[in-house]
Amino acid sequence: MEISIDLLLCDAVDFPGETYSVSVLKVGYCLPQTDGTFRADGTVTLITGPRTVLVDTGGAWDRDFLLASLRERGLEPADVELVVGTHGHSDHIGNLGLFPTAVTIVGHDVSRGDTYRPNGLAGGHAYVVDEHVIPSPGHTGQDVSVQVRGTSAGTVLVAGDLFECCSDEGSWQHLSMNTAVQEVSRQEALRTADVIIPGHGLPFRISSLERRQGGTDVMPSPLVDWCENQEPSLIQDYLT
């Protein structure tokens, strides 16, 4: 007997909850181009409830998109109380300047204006907003993710580039500063979250199944195969 983890792309980008709701404003992508460049943007996620939290702000080119997305939801930038940059790459922290008065977490730094607060992120401790929203460390260097408990889909982890996308096995390692540390964090995420919102792909659901193992070979998950086949086109639909 072994535990088999299947990953299933979600058919929605909104995860309502009684206390906090999670909405993906933009699905991140990473698309190699024929000229050797690649087009990429980071997933942008809004968490609404007792506090309004934005996780990642996309690239600098997303400014107008971000303003419009907030306004569609009746929000101005000043309504965002906490901005989290999961890590300091340009496709995730391009629009911090829209939120000069918000509490800002980028990696392990917590600040409001030019005042930086001591915190335990670098030491492995979470920065608790409340019991439902918990920026947590442990990824590729100074990264954080945000765990939102109690949504209709269970616990949602807004994971930044801890996961590139649903089907990143074999590719995330090339982008990792420390594969051993990141692997531990990924396993913890798969163990504790029901839905993961990755940095460059659609949200996916984690399904843990007990599976009787007849031999040393384990059948690969057909759902992972399905992800690999479906995701690029699905992501394309989300390109602005």
Q: Contact residues for a second copy (CB under 8 A)?
A: 33, 36-41, 57, 59-61, 63, 85, 87-91, 93-100, 104, 106-107, 109, 111, 113-118, 141-142, 177
Q: Enumerate the H helices of 9-142 as residue ranges.
A: 63-72
Residue 140 Ramachandran class (φ > 0 left, ψ -120 to 50 alpha, else beta): alpha
Rank residues 7 and 106 by Cβ distance to a second copy and give the closer one: 106
Rounded Cα distance, 148 and 20, in Å: 7
Rank residues 150 and 232 by Cβ distance to a second copy and give the closer one: 232
Rank residues 76 and 225 by Cβ distance to a second copy and give the closer one: 76
CB of 78 to a second copy, least distance (A): 12
CB of 57 to a second copy, least distance (A): 8
Phi, psi of 237 (to 5 degrees): -60, -25
CA torsion 62→68→74→80, rounded to 10°? 20
CB of 59 to a second copy, least distance (A): 6
Rank residues 35 and 131 by Cβ distance to a second copy and give the closer one: 35
CB of 53 to a second copy, least distance (A): 16
Rounded Cα distance, 189 and 86, in Å: 15
Contact 149, 132 (CB under 8 A): yes
CB of 26 to a second copy, least distance (A): 11
Rank residues 84 and 206 by Cβ distance to a second copy and give the closer one: 84
Q: What's the per-residue H, E or C state across 179-216?
A: HHHHHHHHHHHHHHCCEEEECCCCCEEEEEEEECCCCC
